[in-house]
Structure 1
Amino acid sequence: MRPGAWQAHPARVVVGGFAAAVALGTALLMLPAAAEDGRATGLVDALFTATSAVCLTGLVVVDTPTHWSTFGELVILGLIQVGGLGTMTLATLLAVLVARRISLRMRLIAQAETKSIDAGDLRRVLLGIAGTTAAVEAATAVVLAGRFLIGYDVTPGRAAYLGVFHAVSAFNNAGFALFSDNLMSFVADPWVCLPIAFAVIIGGIGFPVLLETRRALLGTRAWSAHARITLVGTALLLAGGTLLVTALEWRNPGTLGALPVPSRLLAGFFHAVMPRTAGFNSLDMAAMQPDTLMVTNILMFVGGGSAGTAGGVKITTAAILLLGVWNEIRGRPDVTLGWRRVPEPVYRQALAIVALGLSLVSGAVIVLLSVTPFTVGQVLFECVSAFATVGLSTGITYDLPSSAELVLTVLMFAGRVGPITLGAALALRTRTRRYDFPEGRPIIG
């Protein structure tokens, strides 16, 4: 590899930035001051927690409120915020605010992280990201802090701390909570569940769509194909997920069956939102029906919008593949969306992302089945949750051996960075072939 090739490729710098954040977080969480009992946390547990925070997953191998001290919780909160903004996006924002100018290389690096199409608009995009993040997190924190203060008899300082922590965790789709049962104690409280759910939705839509929505509402720009796919897909998945979860769990005494009707509807909606990919839970995941867990697996794997805080393969990826199948069935050579033709490289990229995602999850499932006593359903749920950076679990994470924790750590990192970005970061250089091979047509099906 030629000198400086690693630093010159924006995708590689993004991967390196996230890896550096994970390494720093691991070192800080291993400090005795980060643990409640004053003893150093082991390397594997600290690495798993730091990766889960930076990659906005929310899976935990130790109980967050009882194991970590206030310092440890603040480290996790900082890692969540850094992971949400994107390591390179945060660095570029600092360059904008301090130096008031951005080099071309910094533009390319941030463009790779934010997936901004026009590098010339990068300054406005990044300032929009910072403003949106601050506004949503502040509004959510105020509502939550007020509710904790008024409804749960906590001190003003504690209420503010709880509000800020859960607001940041929600908007960044992280799923970390400062309660041992996550949010199960608030299953019937709309003043806690709904602000968190709305923050998750806004963060999971993706920054480009949020900025485009603002322009469209002001009448300065028409909806793009990407925005239409993301918004329509989000609405369909939320509505469909709510209906399916509520119907499948309606009479389950371990989940919705024990709640009054309004609380059942609230909990059904909340659970449909969380696989988008936040990881908060107000219901006991271990008590859910197998069919509900399968629906949750699908929602988690699809995830949310591109260039946001959600994980998964993304709504646009799944939509492009479904459109490709539909057009193939109809005998059409191109993938079309309304009156627009989807470029062939985009379709190939979507296919590659899904194929790599399925391969990573399948490989992790095989490894975990060989080192743990858990069922296929439990292990599959855990692996999909890790890859899609969701954080939901049926309760087996605490009992995983170190080898399984390391597998899920790799899966979380790959899921956050993205299979395509990770592959590009590891490639030595882009190769172009100046010739074509003769066609060979294998029989398909």
Structure 2
Amino acid sequence: MARRTRASTQRPFSERFRSWFHDLREQTTKSPARFAVIIFSTLILLFTGLFSIPAASADGQSLKLADAFFTAMSTICVTGLTTVNMDTQWSPLGHTLVFLGVQIGAMGVLTLASILGLVISKRLGLRAKLIAAGDSNPLRVHGGPVNEGQTVRLGEVGQLLVTVALSTLIIEATLAVLLYPLMVIAGVDPLTALWEAPYYAAMAFTNTGFTPNAGGLTPFADDYLFLSVLMVGVFLGSIGFPVIFALAKHVWHVRRWSLHAKLTIITTVVLFLAGAAVFLVLEYNNPKTFGSMDAWDTTFQAFFLSAMTRSGGFAVIDISELNGSSMLVGSMLMFVGGGSASTAGGIKVTTLAVLALAVWSEARGRQTVEAFGRRIPSDVQRVAISVVAWGATIVALSTIIILQITKAPLQHVLFDVISGFATVGLSTGLTEDLPDSGVYVLALTMFMGRVGTVTLAAAVAATARTQLYSLPVERPIVG
């Protein structure tokens, strides 16, 4: 009798499934940002399990948990840092998992949440559209008046999602077609190049930087056409899907580009040129990097290094052999990263542009911050300051902890930490030798850098409160 009572009180499986599905749908509608964090975390745990299975490893042995977790984090966050040898560790299944993982991660946290929310809810609600558009403008998470002309309009969110999928497919396919004959000419087996070319194309566009072959880019160190194709892929991935969307609509009408697109492209180009010039000056007489090269090789390698420190992650030279001054410059470039809603990480180039414009306006005594005939509201400036402050805090805390764990040189720890936070993938060699405790700290840094401080803030915030009164004004002394 007691057994029958327990059976009668247990809900049927179909009812429990409908309840779970309803709760998931409610979560998508109420907080898409929090839903994105949950989905990203779930994917990381899923890929940790997949990387741990013996069939994923070339030797048929289960990978250590810390290494599997770090690889999953680096793959889903499209970082490119690794604690294992990527060309010898994985079986064909393992390489396939890495390839699929970076494709999923490259879609971005908010875009991924919107697509999954669309599948679950059968439509994108207004709040989900606001969050999806927020991937190109963080202010949408915070609410308030937003100039629709500065980013993607709500009605264009569906088109943006299509652009994400199509641009990824078309750009990676084009890069693979260009890379394949170059790899065959370089001596790669034609059958091997059939999968290595798409692999390199994906790693370039997603700004990940994993290499599937022994020696990485060493066999292609002198193939400047091959390296140039990689740089183009990294650039296209780093400018961001909203910019690709804007260029696709108004490629020959610069005046019709959004302010976001203009700031992204201009700042990206300026940092690319400035970074190359600085690396050229600092490393031209370093015999371990550029010092043994002629003028043309030195110039090209300086530009390649500048492009990769923006979030590309590929390396021809040994990063640990760079001068300390060059490591610092590289850390600064990595911290900035690429464009918003891109496969790159960092605080984003538009954040830097807004802060630079605010400083310039303050120096000239202007009351407002303006660019290209548009006024940038104060709430955008506050978000930019918050992103930089939180990013610097995360980097500082992670650096202090890993310094305490490893006792390694500061410049090496700072470089690898910023590389992890900005999801770049360049390393001084420190990451490969980290103990398990340091591996988990750096993995958490990567997660926070990829998900983004704005998304984390939106996910943590339970409700939005409206203040119906204002306090008296008093100005503290600043500076």
Question: What is the distance in 2 between the residues matched to 1:91 and 1:339?
Answer: 34
- Counterpart check, 1:405 vs 2:405: no
3-state SS of the aligned residue for 2:104? helix
Deviation track 1:344-397 (CA, whole Å, cap 9, x = no partner) reads 111100000000000000001110111102011111111111111101111111
Equivalent of residue 30 in structure 1, options 40, 46, 52: 52
Question: What is the distance in 2 between the residues matched to 1:123 and 1:48?
Answer: 33
Question: What is the distance in 1 between the residues matched to 2:218 and 2:47?
Answer: 28
Counterpart position of 1:384: 418
Counterpart position of 2:268: 234
Report the residue type matching 1:118 in the other structure: R
Which deviates more, 349-358 or 416-425? 416-425
1:114–1:40 Cα change, 3 Å = farther
3-state SS of the aligned residue for 1:310? coil
Give 1:219 shift.
Answer: 4.3
Give 1:87 shift.
Answer: 5.5
Report the residue type matching 2:364 in the other structure: R
Counterpart position of 1:431: 465
- Counterpart check, 1:340 vs 2:374: yes
- Counterpart check, 1:358 vs 2:380: no
Which deviates more, 126-135 or 99-108? 99-108
3-state SS of the aligned residue for 1:274? helix
Equivalent of residue 198 in structure 1, options 207, 232, 252: 232
Pairing of 1:75-86 with structure 2 (within 5 A): 75-86=97-108
3-state SS of the aligned residue for 1:374? coil
Question: What is the distance in 2 between the residues matched to 1:271 and 1:430?
Answer: 43
Give 1:443 shift.
Answer: 1.4
Report the residue type matching 2:161 in the other structure: L
Point out where structure 2 has 5 or more consecutive residues left out of the alignment.
1-22, 138-150
Counterpart position of 2:146: none
Give 1:114 shift.
Answer: 5.6
Give 1:143 shift.
Answer: 1.6
Equivalent of residue 93 in structure 2, options 49, 64, 71: 71
Question: What is the distance in 1 between the residues matched to 2:136 and 2:263?
Answer: 18
Counterpart position of 1:61: 83
1:406–1:320 Cα change, 3 Å = same
Counterpart position of 1:441: 475
1:88–1:323 Cα change, 3 Å = closer
- Counterpart check, 1:133 vs 2:133: no
Give 1:6 shift.
Answer: 4.8
Counterpart position of 2:40: 18
3-state SS of the aligned residue for 1:258? coil
Give 1:428 shift.
Answer: 1.7
Question: What is the distance in 2 between the residues matched to 1:92 and 1:277?
Answer: 24
Contact kept, 8 Å, 2:54 with 2:60, in 1: the verdict is yes
Counterpart position of 1:307: 341
Report the residue type matching 2:257 in the other structure: W
Counterpart position of 1:216: 250
3-state SS of the aligned residue for 1:438? coil
Report the residue type matching 2:78 in the other structure: L
Contact kept, 8 Å, 2:135 with 2:340, in 1: the verdict is no
Counterpart position of 1:267: 301
Give 1:179 shift.
Answer: 3.3
Counterpart position of 2:144: none
Question: What is the distance in 2 between the residues matched to 1:283 and 1:220?
Answer: 37
Report the residue type matching 1:31 in the other structure: I
Point out where structure 1 has 5 or more consecutive residues left out of the alignment.
none
1:398–1:6 Cα change, 3 Å = same
1:93–1:365 Cα change, 3 Å = closer
TM-score w.r.t. length of structure 1:
0.94
3-state SS of the aligned residue for 1:292? helix
Give 1:430 shift.
Answer: 1.7
Deviation track 1:107-129 (CA, whole Å, cap 9, x = no partner) reads 45543446563221122222122
Counterpart position of 1:174: 208
Contact kept, 8 Å, 2:399 with 2:413, in 1: the verdict is yes
Which deviates more, 354-363 or 211-220? 211-220
Report the residue type matching 1:134 in the other structure: L
Which deviates more, 335-344 or 18-27? 335-344
1:231–1:28 Cα change, 3 Å = same
Equivalent of residue 52 in structure 1, options 57, 74, 94: 74
Give the aligned CA root-mean-square deviation in angstroms. Answer: 2.3
Deviation track 1:287-327 (CA, whole Å, cap 9, x = no partner) reads 11111111111110111111111111001101111111222
Which deviates more, 217-226 or 138-147? 217-226
Question: What is the distance in 2 between the residues matched to 1:395 and 1:98?
Answer: 43
Contact kept, 8 Å, 2:108 with 2:341, in 1: the verdict is no
Question: What is the distance in 1 between the residues matched to 2:52 and 2:128?
Answer: 32
Equivalent of residue 143 in structure 1, options 178, 183, 199: 178
Give 1:141 shift.
Answer: 0.8
Question: What is the distance in 1 between the residues matched to 2:440 and 2:227?
Answer: 32
Give 1:218 shift.
Answer: 4.8
Give the number of the structure whose alpha-carbon radius of gyration is greater: 2
Task: Give the number of aligned pairs.
Answer: 442
